[in-house]
Structure 1
Amino acid sequence: MHYQSGKDTANVQAAPQKRELYVLSEAFDLAVAKTRINLPDLAAAPASWGFDVHGDYANRREGFHEIGNWTTSFFTGMGVLSYLRTGERNFISDVEALDESYLRKLENHAVETMHDLGFLYTLYSVALFKVTGEARHRESGLRAAEALANRFVPNGEYLRAWGRVNEHDTDYSGLAIIDSLMNLPLLYWASNETGDKCLRDLAIRHTDTTLEYFLRDDDSVYHAFRFDPATGNPLGGDNYCGRDVSSHWARGTAWGMYGFSLGYQHTGDERYLDAANALTAKYVSLLDEEKVPVWDFKLEDHERLIRDSSSSAVAICAIQNMISQGVGTSEFSDCKDQMLEALCSDAYLDRSAQCRGLLKQGQVGAGLGKAMNAYTSWGDYFFMQALASELGLKVDWW
Structure 2
Amino acid sequence: MKYIKILPFLLLGQVHAQPKLNVDQALTYCVDQAAKISATLPTTAPNLPRNILNGKTQWKYIDYKDWTSGFWPGTLWYVYEYTKDPKWRAKADSFSRELTPLAYSKAIDHDLGFQMYCSFGNGLRLTGNPDYKKILLATADTLATLFNPKVGTILSWPRPVPNMEWPQHNTIMDNMINLELLFWASKNGGSKKLYDIAVSHATTTMNNHFRPDYTSYHVVVYDKETGKKIKGVTHQGYADNSMWARGQSWAIYGYTMTYRETKDPKFLEFAQKVSDVYLERLPHDLIPYWDFSAPGVDSPDRPNAPKDASAAAVTASALLELSTFVLDKTKAQMYRTKAEQMLATLSSAAYQSRSVNDAFLLHSTGHKPNNSEVDASINYADYYYIEALLRAKKLREEKGILSKL
Short-chain TM bin = 0.7 to 0.9
Partner of 1:14: none
Letter of the structure 1 residue corresponding to residue 257 of structure 2 = L
- Identify which of 363, 374, 377 aligns with 2:376: 374
> Alpha carbon RMSD of aligned pairs, Å?
2.7
CA contact (8 A) 1:43 1:97 kept: no
Aligned to 1:11: none
Inter-CA distance 294–142: structure 2 relative to 1 (3 Å threshold)? same
Structure 1 residue 70 and structure 2 residue 67: aligned? Answer: yes
What residue number does 1:362 align with? 364
Distance 1:77 1:371, change over 3 A: closer
Please give the TM-score of this superposition, normalised by the length of structure 1.
0.86
Task: Mark the CA change 1:126 to 1:242 in structure 2 (over 3 Å): closer, same or farther.
Answer: same
Match of 2:295 among 296, 300, 320: 300
Q: Say whether residues 1:80 and 2:89 are aligned partners.
A: no
Q: Measure how far apart 1:173 and its partner are.
A: 4.0
* C-alpha distance in 2 between matches for 1:60 and 1:321: 32
Alignment gaps of 5+ in structure 1: 1-17
The structural deviation recorded for 1:339 is 1.2
- The SS at the match of 1:64 is coil
Amino acid at match of 2:101: R
State which drifts further: 115-124 or 368-377: 368-377
- Following superposition, the deviation at residue 210 of structure 1 comes to 0.6
- Between stretches 144-153 and 327-336, larger displacement belongs to 327-336
- 1:396 alignment counterpart: 402
Number of matched pairs = 371
CA contact (8 A) 1:242 1:368 kept: no
Q: Does residue 45 in structure 1 map to residue 42 in structure 2?
A: no
Matched, 1:119 2:125: no
Structure 1 residue 384 corresponds to structure 2 residue 390: no
In the TM superposition, residue 385 of structure 1 has moved relative to its aligned partner by 0.8
Q: Please tell me whether the aligned partners of residues 54 and 374 of structure 2 are also in contact (alpha carbons under 8 angstroms).
A: no
Alignment partner for residue 256 of structure 2, among 261, 276, 282? 261
Name the residue aligned to 1:27.
Answer: 26
Change (3 A) 1:46 1:98: farther
SS of the residue aligned with 2:187? helix
Structure 1: distance between partners of 2:43 and 2:391:
26
What amino acid is the match of 2:364? G
2:322 is aligned to: 322
* 1:223 aligned partner: 218
- Do the aligned residues in 1 keep the contact of 2:202 with 2:258 (CA within 8 Å)? yes
Structure 2 counterpart of 1:273, one-letter code: L
CA offsets per residue over residues 155-178 of structure 1, 9 Å max, x none? 21111111359xxx9737411011
Unpaired runs of 5+ in structure 2?
Answer: 1-17
C-alpha contact (below 8 Å) 1:160/1:173 kept by paired residues: no
Q: Deviations over 1:188-227 (max 9, x none)?
A: 1111101521000000000011100011101111011000
Tell me if the contact between 1:121 and 1:141 (Cα under 8 Å) persists in the aligned partners: yes
Per the TM alignment, residue 231 of structure 1 is displaced from its structure 2 partner at its CA by 2.4
1:326 CA displacement = 4.2
Which of 216, 231, 236 is the equivalent residue of 1:236? 231
Please report how far the alpha carbon of residue 77 of structure 1 lies from its aligned counterpart in structure 2 after TM superposition.
Answer: 1.4
Q: Structure 1 CA distance, aligned partners of 2:195 and 2:260?
A: 13
Counterpart in the other structure of 1:288: 283
Aligned to 1:245: 240
For residues 229 and 26 of structure 1, the distance between their equivalents in structure 2, rounded to whole angstroms, comes to 50
- Contact 1:47-1:72 at 8 Å conserved across structures: no
Assess, with a 3 A threshold, how the Cα gap between structure 1 residues 106 and 330 changes in structure 2: closer, same or farther. closer
For residue 122 of structure 1, report the CA deviation from its aligned partner.
Answer: 0.7
Secondary structure of the structure 1 residue equivalent to 2:213? coil
1:40-74 Cα offsets, whole Å, 9 max, x none, are: 72664345532221487964254323xxx121211
Preserved contact between residue 55 and residue 375 of structure 1 (Cα < 8 Å): no
In the alignment, what sits opposite 1:138? 133
